[in-house]
A and B are shown apart, each in its own frame.
Chain A
Amino acid sequence: MSTTATTISNGGTPDVDLSEHNSWRKTKSRIMISLTGVAALIIAIPLFFVIGTLISKGAGVVFRDFPAFFTKGIPTRSEDFGPGMGPAIIGTLTITGFATLVAVPLGILGAIYLHEYGKGTKLAAVVRFLATVMTGVPSIVMGLFIYVIFTLRYGLSGVGGALALACLMLPVVIRATEEMLKLVPDHLREASYALGTGKARTILTIVLPSALPGIVSGCLLAVARAAGETAPLLFTIGAARESRFNIFSGATTALPAQIFENAKSSYPGARERGWGAALTLLMITFLFTLVARLVTAAYKKRR
């Protein structure tokens, strides 16, 4: 096929037979094109298998004696059957929530610096580059980092986990927000300046609101990813079996950590809770993703 490519770029007389009746070329094309379709089919298989397994093994556990699974504590003996995952659900919601409170404002402000103040400067280019680098930091490294600077001093707590998650979310929020700020047309800013509005006020009342749907959907995706992170929590939050609403002191637990523990366990009871926890976590992440999609769709329609 490279012969075709070279002939095209050389612009000379084609040295391959380009007539309509050369069926091998057509057949080959058809085969390769159908293979791309097969690739799309193949990747659907694991998704359906994973979701199918979670529903078949987890739904019974989660919805038996509803809502016991969501409210009851984790049995102190792993071999026991029965609910629940209450403390882990509370842990996931509080830890991810606190991480969001830290990462989202910081990330949005950072993006405002990159696009509204620092645009074109060397410093902004460096920060943008480092944000990309930071996206690639493995989550386990982030967890150990928080262990070294936070957990060693203040002990195991939800905040430690939240800080690790916030570090993972920060670059994602920055990049998503900056992309959205780029889409806000300059004439909106200029119209605001012409009315005598200062730069900060213009950003807060004109630029951010018009980029808001995109920012919200980007942040929701970041939250969905963070809620499923396991590795950073292993070193920072400990392993409690009772509910803890106060994330500032004492060991707690979260859904991903519970799934990890129960997946390693050989007790059927523990595994059952693991499947239930996995289904719950998947529902939480899919919910966030779905809402992000809806926000984007509603915004597109409005335009």
Chain B
Amino acid sequence: MEARLDDSTPVLTGHKARADRSFKWLALGAGLAVLVVLGLIVFTMVRRTGPALDQMGLKFFTEKRWAPPKKIYGALALIWGTVFTATIALVLAVPLSIGIALFVTQVAPRKLKTPIVYLLDLLAVVPSVVFGMWGVLVLAPHIKGLYGWLHRTFDAWPVLGSIFGKPQTRSFLTAGIILAVMVTPIITSLAREVIETTPASEKEAALALGATKWEMIRGSVIPHSKGGLVGAVMLGLGRAMGETIAVALTIGSALGQVTINALAPGNSMPSLITAEWGEADALKKSALITVAVTLFLMTIIVNTAATAVVQRSIKKSRGALV
């Protein structure tokens, strides 16, 4: 296709040809900017991890203490905090997002569909710092009763007893709830796109066989969009892991916390960086940059895998159509 278009471009001469060509180079340069920025991020930041990694070695990733006065820098508790809050967020957000996506695409009449989509778009542009401020000043004080109830009710249960341990209002769960609200619009909008690729013929086939609406969704829509939905969830995970300010305000900023008690305060990688950057000396700055590089790599891996999964499922569903 491209060749055909190029063949049809007229042959220019003189300064016109030069202008034409220089525009092409300009566009190419702009395209390469992405490459340059990503390359520079990796190069400049990895270079600054030196002092911290010299001090700690690979123990940086397995040590849970973060004690700058003793020159001990361990990222384990922070990595745990990031993974734990993001997991809580997904546990809450995934059923919600897929429910909304199904409602918007399969159930809601057109009149209801548009306002819901508008609402989600608005939710998606609410700045994270606003969610964070609301979380710490409004949600946290009001959720005390619920946390106490969860703790008392499940105290004697085997697993839930440990998950709902001694409660504190700023905790992994509080951060997870705020994150869930923030990633729901993202997962929903992707899930919607994926679900909408289900061919009408497959849905009609299920209905023609006498399936109820829910059986049609379980039998035709979900199997068809499974890959894309997994990708959507992973993109949500990437966003939740990288979110900084909302988490910094609500997670409680407690160091060294590696626990499955969701009601305990903790810390995450991005939230620690914002909290400690101000008064950091050279070694600590290096340690914080190492934390950032770790976070960068984790989110890149998650996002790349997510993109690959989504691309593959789109290709597959296109193939099915052809």
Contact = CB atoms under 8 A, between A and B. Distances in A.
B103 A39 contact: yes
Contact of B27 (A110, A140, A202): A110
A199 interface: yes
Interface centre among B107, B133, B210, B249, by most chain A C-beta atoms within 10 angstroms, is B133
A57 to B, nearest CB: 9
A7 B241 CA distance: 41
Interface string A204-235: 10000000000000000100110111110011
Interface in A154-173: 167, 170-171
B5 A200 contact: no
Interface string B19-50: 11001101111111111011011001100100
Interface in B190-239: 205-206, 209-215, 217-219, 223, 235, 238-239
A59 interface: no
Most buried by A among B29, B181, B215: B215
Given A119-B2, A138-B270, A263-B136, A198 B307 contact: no
B44 A25 contact: no
Nearest to A105: B30
Contact of B244 (A108, A139, A263, A278): A139
B199 to A, nearest CB: 14
B78 interface: no
B100 A50 contact: no
Nearest to B210: A18
Contact of A42 (B31, B96, B138): B96
B130 A36 contact: no
A159 to B, nearest CB: 16
Nearest to A121: B2
Interface string B73-105: 000000000000000000000011111101110
Contacts of B107: 33, 36-37
11 contacts: A32-B214, A47-B126, A127-B32, A137-B38, A137-B242, A137-B300, A138-B296, A141-B45, A198-B12, A286-B122, A289-B121
Given A228-B129, A275-B133, 18 more contacts: A1-B219, A18-B210, A32-B217, A33-B213, A36-B102, A39-B100, A109-B27, A136-B239, A136-B300, A137-B299, A138-B270, A144-B292, A149-B40, A198-B9, A200-B23, A202-B9, A234-B274, A264-B249
Interface of A: 1-2, 4-5, 7-8, 14, 18, 25-26, 28-29, 32-33, 35-40, 42-44, 46-47, 49-50, 53-54, 105-110, 112-114, 116-120, 123-124, 126-127, 129-142, 144-145, 148-149, 167, 170-171, 174, 186, 189-190, 193-194, 196-204, 221, 224-225, 227-231, 234-235, 256, 259-260, 262-264, 271, 274-275, 278, 281-282, 285-286, 288-289, 293
